[in-house]
Structure 1
């Protein structure tokens, strides 16, 4: 309900959410000095954290807290979200683009050394301002039971729970804490002077996509256009760094100057969700085309013959795996299965592509038994499918699952027939394209740099510049602008400037009103003397 804007339905649900969000930010899960959330606490009072910070956690919490602040009328939650964004930008953003995976709990081999304080240290840093600061904060001793190595010299900073909860209930906590910003900054500088904990410098597709989604979710309620701009940077980094456009394939991560690793279903699904959300946010058609390319790759690589999802790619990419991993549900983050279903449903809705939505529901049917048996383990999916647009699609297509699966659109080459013939005088090759009704290929030059133009090259022989004809304007129902395309039959004249080529290569990308297929390269023999 927080994410969608729907009613909570039960006031107790809103109260439970509010109490949980409050406890997470008043205790030590939230880093009051540096912003951002630690992974978990080691005590039932939530006062002592395991100090590691994970991109996965913070990526999901920034959007939740930003929207909860608006929905519940709690500016404190908006402040928490904003400070967590600042943490991500300060400590996990890479100068080469993309977010790092985590920040260590340890400094110089001592867990918590980079985070703890003593009262004396706070007083030495803040001077006379320390009294006001300590009036709102308390230090909690690390329990001996958790210390199995050298303990840090200090204690854990918490807000004073009674005072903080009273101020939060009255809607005053954000205003009360905001004047302490200079004190937080001074303590952060003192903390950083000790050194910085190491970071896990892997930049992972799934985690970055979730971070981009969280930033987009937080941008509007926080009035933070910089958050949306950072989400765009994440999307561009994923596309330019981890997406292999010729192969139509995603790599899992970038690390130490190398890009690689088998991407999982969750990597593809989260990346697709981000591309689609960026289209909704930025209104640029390139993001929709990218979402579509990711969806095509996901369906090709992770959907088996029964229409069911697999966590790892089918075929050669998963050749080293003898069995499929077990389904674990939505644990610390949404599962690949859950994200894939939601992504394909949403993309089908945006593009008015009922066949894609039907395939999403077929995929859902493959693990619906697990969801029904233990819905609490699939909390993210259950919540997302409760949104009216998705619930309607699931209900609509669930009754059709017994019917044969509609035939997919195939490959680009399935919809374009190509032939080539040397002209009687031998000065040129005429290439004839016959494009199936309802389909088109991009004109040359293409209307946008992310579109693949129709292009002819010669693997052998020598050809001159080709005078490609202007295209016809075409605007899909989901698009705001038209693009230039070729439809029906088309003859291209290819000048010969040396040896007559034996073969020509034609690069095409076929599209219909709903979907653009993967780019394709066709090699054809050049006919001579009527052959």
Structure 2
């Protein structure tokens, strides 16, 4: 908690700070624009859906730019930075209540340079000022409203405000700045210093920390927080956080920790059955507003669904549950139907609101369901928990399940095949009914980093269920990004027709490089490996921070503080992804420098990842690679691609699975190609066991005592 505070300043700030309401997050209310507008500001020239939503406010908004900041300095005006995104509900509420109000707009225009920021287009600006607000008041959210000095250093920050609260904040902060600018400057300097301190990382080359005990200590600190009934961590609202569950699967398999594996399975089951999953249209909503995964915030984000696809694909490999395959297929159907740009690439988000109501597109009244389903209603109601105690609000129900199909069949007079037919008919019928409703608005930006996550999602789904079209989807996304977002050897962050170029951030480079690496491992196409290497080297050049041994989030130094993102959020840490990429590249090419860099980065994070492992799961996944035996599995021969596909169907932690169908000068493949057959080489630290010709033999070499691995060999048919 940041607690620098100047007494004279606190007298004014305290008045404003206590006005803030509890954070509520985050979807945007859809509304039809009128054909004529009383006001139009500079945002009309933008392409971001969020910025365009504010283009007809009476507030003199402009987009984030150096010109706007220079104007503030020239006029000695405070800067008001308001940050949100198109599917953020409370962002829209504040716009409607406050930013569309003429009297509020007059105060803002007279006293401030007003800047609107789409956090998805400028995550660096969002990260800087979110850190500031968290330091000043202990939490944050969206809309994020920050008042800064002309130099950009924060003086005040908060989230949603009512019109009266906002008017008082504007008045008090303006008075403070005019009456005592020196004190305001001192306070903002200390906030900026606090932001800088958050981003201080001490580099470490103490590789003795990279041991199993560090992992165990982190798990011991985490286990007491696990919800043993509903899964996830014990809290009032729940996010999926795929990085956490991915790490726990690896940890549980490597250590044979049955409690951890059961916790993951419980969490996955409850999410798949809960209202956070759209049982009619497929795909996941952003997060659950309750501890039981029942009522979501109804916006749908690409990054959530891309990572959920990866997570459930991995889980299907491990647990073989039909429920997980159902989720995989439903999520894919949703993505292809509702999130795909006809020319390629996938949109950022779907709004939660339609016709001014949250979730209206997705929820049902009992009367509606009876009318639509007729005689099927009774069984449908039992399956999807349509009962009096489950009603949400205004008589609406969020479809969710309290039992899986096996349990349902045991308590209802219906066969498995009959239930499958009924479910298919129910979904088709209700999807037709949905088509008659007003559809939520789409944020049609195509973000590089989020699409890279989806490349991995489709690759993981392809590996798990073997459908070739999924590999095609992954390849097409990469082609789209290369065509539209990677021009003149410069990667862009966001693409939309006629949009301005935004330099890519570390998350774009690292996630796209990671996706290219995974494409290489799956297809054996060395062009993907070359792209991964190229993107990684560019990232090292553009974002290197010598003092921390990490990489900055953004290019250049135009913001008020250096920004180094090491913790996971809803997307894993871009620095952790960089470390993973370097670790993999180091093993593929036996590049000692890359492997040492990855170890240095992980060593710097061991202490904090032990204390709060749930915030550093991606680092802990890499710590598992370094503290447990890590194997390079090289499949070499004419049938390498098909054998890799077969072997990949079994999830094995702590291996790098690669192959070559031709002669290759890569260290892993050199001198190993033979016309006589296809061989599997299990190697560790550049030392290989004698080659074997079957997958079960290779699995036994990896871990002869692992019951999980040995039971998986039953799935390989003729390759035994």
Q: Same fold (TM over 0.5)?
A: yes
Kindly provide the CA deviation profile for residues 400-459 of structure 1, in whole angstroms up to 9, marking residues without a partner as x.
Answer: xxxxxxxxxxxxxxxxxxxxxxxxxxxxxxxxxxxxxxxxxxxxxxxxxxxxxxxxxxxx
In the alignment, which of 604, 612, 615 is matched to residue 377 of structure 1? Answer: 615
Structure 2 partner of 1:166: 407
Per-residue Cα deviation, 1:316-348 (whole angstroms, up to 9, x for no partner): x42311312364511222111111100111122
- 1:34 and 1:98 mapped to 2: Cα distance? 20
Cα distance change, pair 115–294 in 1 and its aligned pair in 2 (3 A): same
Q: Report the CA distance between 1:259 and its aligned residue.
A: 5.4
Match of 1:250 among 475, 491, 498: 491
Asked if the contact 2:553–2:565 (Cα under 8 Å) also holds between the matched residues in 1, the reply is no
Higher relative contact order (CA 8 A, sep 6+): 2
Tell whether 2:330 aligns with 1:92.
no
Task: For structure 2, list consecutive stretches of 5 or more residues without a partner in the other structure.
Answer: 1-247, 632-662, 671-720
**Match for residue 47 of structure 1 among 290, 294, 299:** 294
1:372-418 Cα distance to aligned partner (Å, 9 max, x none): 4433310122124313698759xxxxxxxxxxxxxxxxxxxxxxxxx
Query: Aligned to 1:38, what secondary structure does the other structure show?
Result: coil
Q: What is the 5 A alignment of 1:230-249?
A: 230-244=473-487, 246=488, 248-249=489-490
Does structure 1 residue 280 correspond to structure 2 residue 521? yes
Aligned-residue offset at 1:75:
1.1
- Of the three residues 426, 447, 460, the one matched with 1:204 is 447
Alignment match, 2:244: none
State the TM-score, normalizing by the size of structure 1: 0.67
Structure 2 CA distance for partners of 1:349 and 1:162, relative to 1, 3 Å? closer
Structure 2 distance, partners of 1:38, 1:251, is: 27
Shift of 1:80: 0.8
Could you tell me which residue of structure 2 aligns to residue 386 of structure 1?
Answer: 624
Aligned-pair Cα RMSD in Å: 3.2
Give the helix-richer structure, 1 or 2.
2
Partner SS, residue 280 of structure 1: helix
The answer to whether the Cα contact below 8 Å between 2:302 and 2:349 also exists between their aligned partners in 1 is yes
1:140, 1:158 within 8 Å by CA — same for their partners in 2?
no
Larger gyration radius, structure 1 or structure 2? 1
Aligned-partner SS, 2:386 = strand
C-alpha spacing 1:385/1:119, structure 2 compared with 1 (3 Å): same
Counterpart CA distance in 2 for 1:390 and 1:8 is: 9
Shift of 1:310: 2.6
Tell me the residue number matched to 1:294.
535
Aligned match of 1:322 in 557, 560, 572? 560
Does 2:393 correspond to 1:155? no
Kindly indicate whether the alpha-carbon contact (under 8 Å) linking 2:301 and 2:349 is maintained by their aligned counterparts in 1: yes
CA contact (8 A) 1:241 1:259 kept: no
Per the alignment, residue 420 of structure 2 pairs with 178
Output the CA distance in 2 between the equivalents of 1:44 and 1:372.
25
Q: Deviations over 1:182-224 (max 9, x none)?
A: 2101101211221211111111111111111111111122222
Q: Structure 1's 291 and 328: CA in aligned 2 closer, same or farther, altered over 3 A?
A: closer
* Structure (1 or 2) with the greater strand fraction: 1
Match of 2:280 in 1: 33
* 2:353 maps to 1:112: no
Structure 2 residue aligned with 1:192: 435
Which stretch has the larger CA shift, 69-78 or 359-368? Answer: 359-368
Q: How many residue pairs end up in the alignment?
A: 390
Residues 227-277 of structure 1 show CA distances to partners (whole Å, capped at 9, x for unaligned) of: 221111111122222123x4x331111124325213221111100000111
Please tell me whether the aligned partners of residues 282 and 330 of structure 2 are also in contact (alpha carbons under 8 angstroms): yes
CA contact (8 A) 2:249 2:261 kept: no
TM alignment of 1:504-519, pairs within 5 A: none
| 1-structure distance, mates of 2:259, 2:410 | 16
Alignment gaps of 5+ in structure 1: 394-473, 482-531
- State whether residues 266 and 311 of structure 1, in contact with CA within 8 Å, keep that contact through their aligned partners in structure 2: no
Deviations 1:473-515 (A, max 9, x none): x95326989xxxxxxxxxxxxxxxxxxxxxxxxxxxxxxxxxx
Moved more, 7-16 or 254-263: 254-263
